[in-house]
Amino acid sequence: MRIRNFLPMNRMEMEAIGWDELDFLLITGDAYVDHPSFGIAIIARILEKSGFHVGILAQPDWKSLQEFRLMGKPRLACLITGGNIDSMVNHYTAAKKKRHKDAYSPGGKSGLRPDRTTVVYSNRVREALPGVPVIIGGIEASLRRFAHYDYWSNEVRRSILLDSQADLLVFGMGEKSIVEVAERLNNGEKIDQITDVRGTMVPLSGNIVPQDTLVLPTFNDVVSDKRKYAEAFWVQYNQQDPFRGKPMYQSHGRKGVLQNQPSLPLTQAEMDAVYALPFMGTYHPSYENQGGVPAIEEVEFSLTSVRGCYGSCSFCALTFHQGRIVQGRSAESILREAEQMTWKSRFKGYIHDVGGPTANFRRPACKAQLTRGACSHRQCLFPEPCDKLENDHEEYLDLLRRLRGLPKVKKVFVRSGIRYDAVLADRNSRFVRELCEHHVSGQLKVAPEHVSDEVLRRMGKPGKAVYEKFVKLFHAANEELGKKQYLVPYLMSSHPGSTIKEAVELAEYVRDMGVNPEQVQDFIPTPGTLSTCMYYTGLDPHTMEPVYIPRSLHEKAMQRALIQYRNPKNYRLVLEALHLAHREDLIGFGSKCLIRPQKSFRAELQEESKQGKGRPRRSGMKSKGSMNKPSNRISDPRSPEKSSKGAPSKVGRFVDTRSKETKIDGVHRPNVHKTEKRRK
């Protein structure tokens, strides 16, 4: 048996273990990190366990065909993924500006993968390795598998299966699907004969489709008619259940795409087997001199306990990728991994997280989901928790107790999103008190997202009153324990349904909460979400009601600025927004005002300019939050401030001192580093 090690990344490493040929070449847009939070690592180890020789080609130079030939032609197929995040989300902000860092690349360097990574890699493989079957997968392929709206090009694009010229697409998590495909290829079946595997999509020529297949509006239909697009999306959205979902076909002219039924959820034993695979738990040592791979930092000492989510937030892609049926690992499997974690030299006694898309979901919403699937006519938590919801936190609490009882473990934190409406629905649990006593590191992140009932309804999130009830429960628990701990609310601007009026309402709530959020999630229409369908069509696909959409980048900037109204750089945007909303009552010197009148603001700028090096006078803006008082300085929003030596100063920079977390816009991805984690 081969000693546990990384899978080969080049010809030299292949020869060192006695391989002269690969069965599968796995090509990824991420750096190679052999950790189960990275999809490519799971697929590689699953195939290795099945007896196949697997090599990893990470972030190849897509401009060089030779890069794709370095490890030779694989015997069975090339498997291609864009990485843990959709490449366009990885590269661009909501304002369509280029990001300067890539947490999934060595040293956080950007530019090591192309835009639309899956398409580019796949087409290069066609040139470099002719005749080799090409299979695409991962979140980029999964969410773009049908005709889809692309925010960055502002157009409806074809299925990624056709644009990439791949032979087969694996959607969802893919463990069962890829093993079945691999075995059939190994048994001599041609790739174009493998058309019926669950969890896969295949290209079809002509219009002859299997029996019981739902035929969607064509590509031409959804491009020319937004109502047809919404209708097609709603069918797709409701057929992602593995038990009741039907195959679907969409014509793209000469060719079409056929999606088979989704893969069945993994059993607990199957989940345990996945996480028992011989992962190295970190990045390949070749990246050490480049500063490592930043994405490992949050997940290296975190434990994935579940996948899937029945929260069904409209802006989240989990319904399309992991599904609504929660699949959990056994406590024994998690404890084994935690114990192995404590043996590492880098382990300092702290387990950073125990969770998944939502930390406090440990099993399906009800037993019926394991035989009949998730209900098509209603959600489990929205608009109110279902009366059949089996919502008991005791098993999760017991797991946390056992983890914090392990030798060498000082503290076990819960940093995945907490679905607070599920906590409130569990009337018998003392979950919040025990969470505050043992598992909060001074701050707990929750995601109310908004406060407007209209916007929350479009988001599929509970109303403001539910969040406020949880806030009271959290503060009461901390008061009982004699602790000073704080909630960090994640907020989203510019979601469908949010006019300037709703954005002002959110700004007022931020004022009353006494928080000063430095980071705000500006809604990005990412492929595969219900919110993106609303954004493109202006319709709610469930009801076909018209929905207001903040489309222009300027309006999006105003809505975001309102949440961060204390930042002087946002003054002009906030002023414009308040005038547009006819809320001039919020401009003044009163305690309820968001900003001061323009003349007063200019006077303060002039006063500060006169003071030079001296300590500027107080701006007069006060925060009720004891842990996040805003800066005492005012800066001119028109130009960056300079210190007397010419270096940029921190004047005017407002920091939410309760949150040292970072977040990346876009798809919050399955079982991965916090920048990709789904917001609940």
| 3-state class percentages of the chain: helix first, strand second, coil last, to nearest 5 | 35, 15, 50
- The residue segments making up the domain with residue 462 are 301-564+661-676
- Domain annotation covers residue 280: no
User: Does the pLDDT value for residue 324 go beyond 70?
Assistant: yes
User: Which residues does 429 contact at the CB level (< 8 Å), separation at least 6?
Assistant: 392, 393, 394, 397, 423
Do 169 and 315 share a structural domain?
A: no
The rounded distance, in Å, linking the Cα atoms of 90 and 243 is 33
Give the pLDDT score at 2: 53
Domain assignment present for 604: no
Q: What is the reported pLDDT for 3?
A: 61
Residue-wise pLDDT for 40-57, tens only, equals 999 999 999 999 999 999
What is the rounded distance in angstroms from the CA atom of residue 112 to the CA atom of residue 128? 19
pLDDT at 605: 61
| pLDDT beyond 50 at 113 | yes
Q: Which residue, of 227, 259, 291, is where some domain finishes? A: 259
Q: Is residue 627 part of a domain?
A: no
Q: What are phi and psi for residue 150, nearest 5 degrees?
A: -110, 115
CB 668 within 8 A of CB 311: no
Among residues 225, 259, 293, the one where a domain terminates is 259
| pLDDT (0 to 100) of residue 320 | 87
Q: Is residue 313 part of a domain?
A: yes
- Last residue of some domain: 205, 237, 259? 259
Residue 429's pLDDT is 77
Same domain, 434 and 314: yes
Q: CB burial class (10 A; 0-12, 13-18, 19+) of residue 575?
A: buried
Q: Is 671 exposed, middle or buried (0-12, 13-18, 19+ CB in 10 A)?
A: buried
Mean of the pLDDT values across residues 208-235?
95
Rounded-to-integer distance, Cα 519 and Cα 675, Å: 13
* CATH number assigned to the domain comprising residue 672: 3.80.30.20
φ, ψ dihedrals at 26, nearest 5°: -100, 120
Specify the DSSP class assigned to residue 92: B
**Among 182, 185, 225, 220, which residue's Cα sits nearest to residue 44?**
182
> Tokens standing for 281?
């738990």
CA distances for 22 relative to 47, 168, 182, angstroms:
12, 20, 13
pLDDT at 622 over 50: no
Same domain, 132 and 230: yes
Burial grade of 192 (CB within 10 A; 0-12, 13-18, 19 or more)? exposed
Q: Clarify whether residues 411 and 467 are in a common domain.
A: yes
611, containing H or E segment: helix 598-611
Q: What is the distance between the alpha carbons of residues 663 and 500, in angstroms, rounded to a whole number?
A: 24
Range of weakest confidence among 226-235, 514-523, 613-622: 613-622
Mean pLDDT of 151-162: 97
150 pLDDT exceeds 70? yes
628 domain-assigned: no
Band (pLDDT 50/70/90 cuts) for residue 206 is confident
Contacts for 94 with CB less than 8 Å, ≥ 6 apart? 494, 522, 523, 524, 556, 665
Do residue 243 and residue 125 come from a single domain? yes
**Do 203 and 314 lie in a common domain?**
no
Secondary structure of residue 641 in the 3-state scheme: coil
pTM, full prediction: 0.87
Q: Is the same domain home to 456 and 515?
A: yes
State how far the Cα of 453 lies from the Cα of 450, in Å rounded to an integer. 8
Query: CB neighbours of 187 closer than 8 A, spacing ≥ 6?
Result: none
Please state, as a whole number, how many other Cβ atoms lie within 10 Å of the Cβ of residue 474.
Answer: 23
Q: Which of 218-227, 582-591, 635-644 has the lowest mean pLDDT?
A: 635-644
pLDDT in tens, 11-26: 999 999 999 999 999 9
Instruction: Tell me which DSSP letter residue 267 carries.
Output: P
Same domain, 427 and 332: yes
DSSP string covering 448-481: EE---HHHHHHHT---HHHHHHHHHHHHHHHHHH
Residue 215 and residue 305 in one domain: no
Give me the number of domains the chain comprises: 2
Task: Indicate if 465 and 384 belong to the same structural domain.
Answer: yes
| CATH number for position 85 | 3.40.50.280
Structure tokens at 134: 């090409």
Q: Number of helices and strands (H, E) in the chain?
A: 24, 20
Q: What is the mean pLDDT of the chain?
A: 88
Q: Please check the confidence at residue 455 and state whether its pLDDT lies above 50.
A: yes
Task: Retrieve residue 394's tokens.
Answer: 């005791």
Counting residues of the chain whose pLDDT is more than 90, the rounded percentage is 77
120 and 63 part of one domain: yes
Report yes or no on 225 lying in a domain.
yes
Determine the pLDDT at residue 636: 35
Across the strands, what pairs with 328?
Answer: 306
Residues 181 and 323 occupy one common structural domain: no
Q: What is the enclosing helix (H) or strand (E) of 445?
A: strand 443-449
What span, in angstroms and rounded, lies between the C-alpha atoms of 233 and 235? 5
Residue 440 lies in a domain: yes
Residue 487 in any domain: the answer is: yes
Give the closest residue to 216 by CA, choosing from 231, 238, 227, 197.
Answer: 231
Give the E-state strand segments of 519-630 in sequence order: 521-522
CA 504 to chain CA centroid, nearest Å: 27
Residue type, 146: F
pLDDT digits (tens, 9 = 90+) for 548-583: 999 999 999 999 999 999 999 999 999 999 999 999
